[in-house]
Amino acid sequence: MADYDFKSLEGKIADAKEWLSKEYRGLRTGRAAPAILDSVMVSAYGSMTPLKQVGNVSVEDARTLRVSAYDAGVLKDIERAISAANLGVGTSADSSSVRVTFPELTSERREQLIKFAKGKLEEARTSVRLARDDSWKEIQEREREGTLTEDDKFSLKEEMQKKVDKANEDLEGMFEAKEKEMSA
């Protein structure tokens, strides 16, 4: 078997999985998930600061998060930032924290979210396909140069396709888990 390194392909596949995972963490389901607040930036201390750096996010119950500010002086800024982020959640502040409530998902909104999640799955699949195409071009080029035999080329293509199929299976599994979570 010829010497060929699939590190580039494997790295791009890992990046696609990580990207999809991150996209899905930010998708709101009917349940309270702290990850939805990861992208919220708070105007505090004269600059835009990630919410994680000005407060602690915890799950209070199935549809409520509580954001406890490290400094009570930024509570109003936290509440404003969460509202401005347009996440479709309600906010209310008390003396020490901000409560973030998630409304029930309507069936229409759930369908939109599933369609959106499917679109993200397709984007991840596309990046895997592009990575596969790059590897295949490189393998063909090495055969033309004479560093790989035709038999090596086809056995490498088979190995590469197994990696791509496994990646697509993993991505599909991530989508199915998210779809199940949104339908619950």
Question: Tens-of-pLDDT digits for all 184 residues of the chain?
Answer: 457 889 999 999 999 999 999 888 777 666 677 877 887 888 888 888 888 888 888 888 878 889 998 888 888 888 888 888 777 778 888 888 899 887 777 788 788 888 888 999 999 999 999 999 999 999 999 999 988 898 999 999 999 999 999 999 999 999 999 888 877 6
As a whole number of angstroms, the distance between CA 21 and CA 153 comes to 33
User: Please, which residues bridge with residue 159 across strands?
Assistant: none
Chain centroid, CA 117 distance in Å: 10
**Closest alpha carbon to 159 in 9, 20, 34, 54:** 9
Q: Do domains 7-25+106-183 and 34-101 have the same CATH topology?
A: no
Q: How far apart are the first and last CA of the chain?
A: 48
**Closest alpha carbon to 120 in 14, 2, 3, 27:** 27
Q: What is the pTM of this model?
A: 0.67
As a whole number of angstroms, the distance between CA 58 and CA 111 comes to 28
Which CATH class, in words, describes the domain spanning 34-101?
alpha beta
pLDDT of residue 83: 85
Q: What are the boundaries of each domain within the chain?
A: 7-25+106-183, 34-101
As a whole number of angstroms, the distance between CA 8 and CA 139 comes to 12
β strands within the chain, DSSP E: 41-44, 47-50, 55-61, 64-69, 90-93, 97-101
- Tokens linked to 78: 């936290």
Which superfamily is assigned to 7-25+106-183 in CATH? Ribosome-recycling factor (1.10.132.20)
